[in-house]
Amino acid sequence: MITSANLAKLKIQRTIFHDVPNRPRGTDCKPVLADLETQVDAKRAEMLRRRMVQVLGSKSSYPVEFAVGSGSRVPEEVRSYTAKPSTTEQFVEMSQRLAAFLFEQHTGATSPGLLCVIDVTSGAQQGLVLLKLEREQGAELKFREEGGKRVFDMSVLDNLILTEGTRLFKTGLFLRTGPNDEDFDAAACDSQWTVATSGDVARFWLRYLGCRFTEEPRVSTEKWFEATVRFANEHVTDPIVKNDLYEHLHSELKSNRKTVSPKKFIEDCIPDKYRKAYEGFLTEKGVSLHAFPKDIADIKGRLRKRAYHTEKGVSIIVPEEEVQLVEIAKRQIVVNDQLASIDRK
Amino acid sequence: MTDLEEARKRWIVERPQYEQLGFHMMERLQKEILLAGIWAELKIRAKEVDSLIRKLITKPEHTYDSLGDKVGIRVIVRYRDEIDAILGIARETLDLSNVENTTDRLRPDVVGYRSIHGVVRFRDGELASKFPPAVFQAELQIRTLAQHLWAEMAHATVYKNDETLQPLPNLLKRRIYILAGVVELADEEFNRIEREIPMVPEITVLKALERNHYKLTVRRGDSQLSLEVIRLLMPIYHLETSKIVSRLDDFFLAHSGVLQHVYAQAETAPDRSAFLFQPEALMIYDLLEADPLVVRRAWNERYPEKELERVANAFGMSFD
């Protein structure tokens, strides 16, 4: 998994941009591929590094791994490029192949964009960052010719990456951890994952990268749900706080948001005094603090009702839609309903 | 006496090599001094041709080859107590000999240049082959900032020693003696104050932070700002001072790899946070890792969040 230590040590070695338009049927569009890397000055390199940290360390960044049989050409390119030191020419060619493959994946409905490929190191680790920057049709992209070769101007960075308003991009970071094909730490981020769009569109970037989330979303979701319930039961003594946490948990899982960010949940829903303990508890239970796509398939049944158990052994089961009938106070639970039947229903 | 023309020719040819020698020695010392967490300013200086010839004229007992200070490495520290530590580092890192305290040369009632001098050579390894100790040596000077002040003021002026003071009227001589006493007293007092400074919690924490900070950089922070930030953030720990200090030391050890990298990279970063090269950046890093939200809340009461975000980003953390 990519850690803050990896991101702290990130260093940009080479940068190149390719313009990848969309591909409406029957048109003869082609990507505009650069032949030379863009020379980035120290100030912009630092700003670009900061922006990568902000994106890849954000709550919308997910740990990913190469998916077997994905059909994407990205994993092979990443594996082969990071396996040994490469020349500038090899970097340019590899990035051109990545841009050409991205263009193949585009349709008429895909947003046109600029693919930025960055050769990075993190300490002794070799790595690659891929950014897809969406741009308005017709937006000016300055490129120039150098000895008959095309190169995008550094101003591309100012206009598309380093502007204050632009915070999230389609991003992927791959850091090699060993000599084998699967020896990578990787993370991916796509601002579309956080909005309600169809899974297919939202996963476009992941498919292009040839990756899948490191853990199945339904597994991550259940693990987080279980760990949070256990934490509330084992560590929170105040009944009101316990119930608040339970409510927050249900609301989070039943919300329209497509992802769960434990970090954000901590910030928004966990009282100060429990934060550290909760974080530690999640880590101890193997639950990542990084965001993950929400999939409630395995806990649907448990989200349909709420269960309360008292100290003396009384159990109250409430359908989710009637939860307002139960009032939790410090020393009592009030159920505002009338008895309908006894023993089994 | 040395043939001065011959010495002049040789020095023009050999000077770049001696500069290299001084540079490599300074690099080695700098690395070890940083690791010891002592703030020190290091400089090297190879004599200019005219200066070398002057020296051979005024010190006829020396030949070109026997002149030990053709290249000098100067280490300036803040406190006298740190001089011994620097000597220890020089002994460990290089072959140090002929250590002399120039104060020992002075009578108690005279003014003069005060510093520790020694001769250093490479002891072994690749650099000892490149600069054989039988041929190449450099002069090491270690002094405090106060001693440096006197040395710089005395350089090429009549303050230099008693002989140069001789022709002056008594009243002027007396004023120079008083001035020398004041500088020496200041040197002594800085040292004593450093030792005896009341150990109020934020100063104790600042000292601990500085000890680690100087392992990463020679840049000095603004201590008034440091104390303000420490006062603001210390309550977040809910720990007594000694526990905060040991926690910070442990945190430094556990993160030293990342810290070394971040500070090496930040040296040339044009857009770094105003707080990154402050000693309390280590405390900010520790607290951001533990509880970013609480730090941000406290921070925003007094300082711009953008500055904190820059520090966080430098340490690989995102606020998004």
Burial state string for B155-186 with b = 16 or more CB within 10 A and e = fewer than 16: eeeebbeeebbeeeeeeebeebeeebeebbee
- Computed over every residue of chain A, the mean pLDDT equals 86
The answer to whether the CB atoms of B293 and A9 lie below 8 A apart is no
pLDDT of residue A163: 65
Query: Does A275 lie at the interface with B, CB-CB under 8 angstroms?
Result: yes
Chain B residues with at least one Cβ partner in A under 8 Å: 255, 257-258, 261-262, 265, 268-272, 289-291, 293-294, 310, 313-320
CB within 8 A of B212, min separation 6: which ones?
Answer: B37, B248, B249, B252, B279, B282
CA A126 to chain centre: 21
Q: Angle at the Cα of B115 (from B111 to B120), degrees rounded to 5?
A: 150
For chain A, what percent of residues have pLDDT higher than 70? Answer: 91
- pLDDT for B304 equals 94
pLDDT in tens, B163-181: 777 778 888 878 888 888 8
Average pLDDT over residues A168-177: 88
The answer to whether A153 and A142 are in contact (CB under 8 A) is yes
Largest CA distance in chain B: 74
Give A40's contacts in chain B (Cβ within 8 Å).
none
Are the Cβ atoms of A9 and B262 closer than 8 angstroms?
Answer: yes
Domain ranges of chain A: 4-213, 217-335
Cβ-defined contact of A50 to B313 (cutoff 8 Å): yes
Residue A267 contacts B, CB cutoff 8 Å: yes
Q: What is the pLDDT of residue A195?
A: 38
Residue A132 pLDDT > 70, yes or no?
A: yes
- Residue showing tokens 């590094």: A49
pLDDT score recorded for residue B226: 95
- Identify the weakest region by mean pLDDT among A249-253, A311-315, B313-317: A311-315
The verdict on a CB contact (< 8 Å) between B289 and A4 is: yes
Window 109-168 of A: residues touching B by CB (8 A cutoff) are 123, 167-168
Is this structure's pTM higher than 0.90?
Answer: no
pLDDT at A183: 92
Compare CB distances from B317 to A4, A55, A266 and report the shortest one's residue: A4
Work out the pLDDT band at B300, boundaries 50, 70, 90: very high
> What DSSP string describes B98-140?
EEEEGGGGS-TT------EEEEEE--SSHHHHHS-TTT--EEE
How much is the pLDDT for B169? 83
Residue B251: pLDDT over 90: yes
Q: Which CATH number fits domain B4-165: 3.40.50.300, 3.30.460.10, 1.10.10.10, 3.30.70.330?
A: 3.30.460.10
Domain ranges of chain B: 4-165, 201-314
User: A321-325, B9-13, B85-89, B205-209 — which is least confidently predicted?
Assistant: A321-325
Q: Which of residues 10-29 of A touch B (CB under 8 A)?
A: 10-11
Interval B94-130: pLDDT, tens: 999 999 887 776 666 666 667 899 999 999 888 999 9
Lowest mean pLDDT among A144-158, A179-193, A330-344: A144-158
Which pair of structure tokens corresponds to residue A118?
Answer: 């960055």
CB contact under 8 A, B316 and A3: yes
Residues 6+ apart with CB under 8 A from B142: B74, B75, B77, B83, B86, B87, B90, B115, B116, B118
CB contacts, 8 Å: B289 with chain A? 4
CA distance B266 to chain A (A): 9
Identify which of A238, A232, A184, A233 has the alpha carbon closest to the alpha carbon of residue A76: A184
CB of A56 within 8 Å of a chain B CB? The answer is yes
The CA distance from A345 to A339, in Å, is 11
Chain B residues in contact with A270 (beta carbon < 8 A): none
CB atoms within 10 A of CB A138: 7
Return the residue in A2, A3, A4 with the most chain B beta carbons within 10 A, the one to mutate for interface testing.
Answer: A4
Residue A46, min C-alpha distance to chain B (Å): 6
Burial class (CB in 10 A: 0-12, 13-18, 19+), B289: middle
Confidence tier at A197 by pLDDT (50, 70, 90): very low
The residue in chain A having the minimum alpha-carbon distance to the alpha carbon of residue B261 is A9
